[in-house]
Every structure is written in C-alpha cells, then in structure tokens.
A = this chain, B = another copy of it.
Amino acid sequence: MNPPSEHRDAPADQRLRSDAERNRERIIAAARTVFARDGLGASMASVARQAGVGIATMFRRFPTKEELVEAVFCDRMDAYVDAVAVALDDPDPWHGFTVYIEAACAMQAADYGFADVLTTTFPTAKALEKRRNEAYEGMVELISRAKATGRLREDFESSDLVLLHMANAGVINATSDAAPDSWRRVVALFLQSFEAPARGPLPASPEHDALYKAMLRTTPTDPGAPEPNKSD
C-alpha cells in the first residue's frame, strides 16, 4: 500500500513537478499526432518515441493506454458534444440532424484515433464516458424531434448512430490514404436511407446491451482491412 514506486495519481489533483508536467504535455501532444495517424492501435512505445521521452516516463504518467486515450480525447469529445448542442439549437431538427452526422463523421475521418474512440467504450475513462453520455442524451432528444417533424423515419434508433460510426470507420480505415473523401458519399447514402418515409421495414436493431458489449472489444484494432500484425 505504500508505494515505493510512484504510480499514485489517483486523486490526480496532485500537482506535478514542472519537468513532469512538461513531459506530460509532450506525451499528450505526441499521442495526439500518433493516434490521429495510426489509430488507437498505436503502441505506447511509439508515442514515447514521438514524444522524445523514455518509455518508463510514458508508463509512469499513463499506466494504461486507456488513461492516455482519455487525456488525449477529452477535448475532442467536447467538440463532439458541442456539435450535438449546435444540432439541438437548429430550428429545423432534421437539418440539425444531418449537419450533426456529417460533422461527426468528418471528425472520424480527420482522426483515426477518434474514429476508434467513437466506436469503443472505455469503462475506466470516466471523463470520456461522461461526455459520450451527454452526447447520447442530446441525440436521443434530437432524434425524437426530428421524427416529430416527419423527416426522420419512425424506426430510426439511436443505436443506428453507433452502427453508422462503425461503418464509417470501416470506410475511412480502408480508404483514407488513397481516396480520403469516400466516406462523404457513404454518409450521404446513409442520410438518404434515414429520411422518411421509410422505403421498407428494417431488421431489428441490436440490443442496447449487446451493442455496448461490442464496443468493449479489448483494444481497438481496425478490422476492415488486413494488416501486418495480430496475436494468434
């Protein structure tokens, strides 16, 4: 219980020594770059290298990748939550809905890591999950309003947003290098299929719980395309 080592920042409010704080910032900045480029699958070691700090420093400050992810994506999640707020402010809920979806998917396209964040849950990253829930609740309201205007199909469900993000992630992961705008067409197709009147019934949505479990998949890897490494 007495930490001969240093890992004790649970309360987190503990002020860091100036050099430690400086390195913390460097690590976060590096992680921002690396995660954006490689997704959350990037290794802690590569982040440390990019930051120019020792591996030990990396793990001392962020013992878990989840903690690093939380520190890196909190502000991006704020932007995400803001986008929902903007959509709710739109006098035309359907218009707000479409603009929001395009914005959210654009955020995915601009940042591999964020694309992973939107389709993964991090039970221990409370700050992240708090924002996710805020956004979620806002979306439930927005969806309800959009349905009320008759522009959004009645059988649309909030879980469809998650599926949309997963699909978008697949497109982005496969095309972002060679055909970086492909996702726009895919999202446009989705939006047209969301529009009322529905052209037919849909298979049932996945259970909320099941989808939540799906979002728990250990560490994000981007399926969709074949890659170099993998455990057996």
Contact = CB atoms under 8 A, between A and B. Distances in A.
B173 A185 contact: no
Contacts of A218: 226-228
B112 A223 contact: yes
A230 B230 CA distance: 8
Q: How many chain copies?
A: 2
B167 A186 contact: yes
A33 B217 CA distance: 21
Contacts of A182: 163, 166, 205-206, 211, 214
A40 B221 CA distance: 13
Interface in A173-228: 173-175, 177-179, 181-182, 184-186, 188-190, 192-195, 198-200, 202-207, 210-228
A232 B188 contact: no
